[in-house]
A = this chain, B = another copy of it.
C-alpha cells in the first residue's frame, strides 16, 4: 500500500479520549498515534506508558506546532470544540471533533466557513452511532428501498440512572438534555430521512429524579417532535433515569416497511430463566453499546484523511443537529413550538 501512514495526535484523554486513543494506537489500520495533548499530567503518562505515545504536550498549540502530525482528534470539553477545530484547520491538520461541535448555531457556521477555506482537509464530527453496524445495516436497508418512503423516525437516547448525579453537576455546561443526548438522534433522523430541512420543533419534559436540574432549566426526561419540509416527522425521547441500563433505539417508519434498531438493550446473546421469569441483562452504558462503532469511526476518519474514502460526516451535519437541538431546547423552556 503506497498511501503513507497517517500520523495522528489526540487532544483530551478523559474517558472517551482514552477510548479513541486506544483505537488509534492499536486497532486503526493506516494510522499511528504519535502525539497527545492534555492539561492533566497523569493522562499523558498513561498515553506514554500504555500506548507508547512519544510526543506528549500540555497544550493543543504545542501539538499543532508539530509538523509530523497529520491529523488531530479532539475529545475536549464542548466549549472548546469550535475554536480548536478552527485552530487545527488553520494549522493544516485534518480534524475529528467530538459532538456537539458547538451549542451555538452561528459558531457552528463560523467553523464551517473556515473548513470551506481548507477544502483539502477533512473535518469530521463524531456522530458515532452512524458507524454502528446495526445502524449501518438500517441505513443500507432504507437506501435499497426496503421501507418504501421513510416518513417518520422515532429515536431515543436513554441512559441508566446515575445515582451519583454526575450529569447534574455538568448541567450548566452540557447544553441541556436535547443538546447532550438527543443530538445523536437528531443526526440519525436527518440521515435516515435523507437530510430534509427541519421547519419546526416542539419539546416537553419532566424531572423524575433529579430536582437540581430545575435551576439550569433542564430536565432528566425530555421528549420532542420535529417537523420537516415535505411532511416527514421525528419524535425524540431522551432520559437520564432508565432503571435497567442504556437503551438507545431508533425506529424508522416507511410506506412499505419499518425497522427498529436496538430494542431491548441486550448486553449479549445470553438469556436467563429463573424464579424471576425469563430475561436478559441490559447494556450498562453507551460504551458497551457502541464499542465497535468507536473503532469503525476512527477507521472512517483515518481512511478519509488518507483519501481512501470520502468523509461520511461533514461539519454541516453538526450545524444542522445543533440547529434542531437548540430549537428543542428553546421550545422546552418557552413551552411554544419554535420555527426553524
Is A166 interfacial (CB-CB < 8 Å)?
no
Is A27 interfacial (CB-CB < 8 Å)?
yes
Pick out which of these stretches binds chain B: A74-82, A109-117, A181-189, A265-273: A265-273
Known: A134-B269, A233-B221. A278 touches B279 (CB 8 A): yes
CA distance A242 to B268 in the complex (A): 23
Is A7 interfacial (CB-CB < 8 Å)?
no
Pick out which of these stretches binds chain B: A8-16, A88-96, A249-257, A309-317: A249-257
Is A336 interfacial (CB-CB < 8 Å)?
yes
**Do B233 and A258 touch (CB < 8 A)?**
no
Q: Mark A140-172, 1 if CB is under 8 A from B, else 0.
A: 010000111101101000000000000000000
Q: How far is the CB of A267 from chain B (nearest CB, A)?
A: 8
**Do B151 and A221 touch (CB < 8 A)?**
yes
**Do A208 and B281 touch (CB < 8 A)?**
no
**Do A237 and B154 touch (CB < 8 A)?**
yes
**Do B243 and A256 touch (CB < 8 A)?**
yes
The count of identical subunits is: 4
Is A261 interfacial (CB-CB < 8 Å)?
yes
Is A209 interfacial (CB-CB < 8 Å)?
yes
**Do B282 and A280 touch (CB < 8 A)?**
no
**Do B272 and A282 touch (CB < 8 A)?**
no
CA distance A49 to B281 in the complex (A): 43
Q: Mark A312-340, 1 if CB is under 8 A from B, else 0.
A: 00000000000000000000000111000
Contacts of A26 in B (CB 8 A): 27, 29
Contacts of A137 in B (CB 8 A): 267-268, 270, 281
Q: How far is the CB of A256 from chain B (nearest CB, A)?
A: 5
With A225-B225, A256-B275 known, 12 other A-B pairs at CB within 8 A are A26-B29, A137-B267, A152-B208, A202-B202, A205-B233, A241-B255, A243-B257, A244-B258, A244-B277, A244-B278, A260-B273, A277-B281
Chain A contact residues, CB within 8 Å of chain B: 1, 26-27, 29, 49, 133-134, 137-138, 141, 146-149, 151-152, 154, 200, 202, 204-209, 221, 223, 225, 227, 231-233, 235, 237, 239, 241-245, 247, 253-282, 335-337
What 8 pairs between A and B have smallest CB-CB spacing? A279-B279, A257-B274, A134-B269, A244-B273, A206-B231, A134-B268, A260-B271, A258-B273
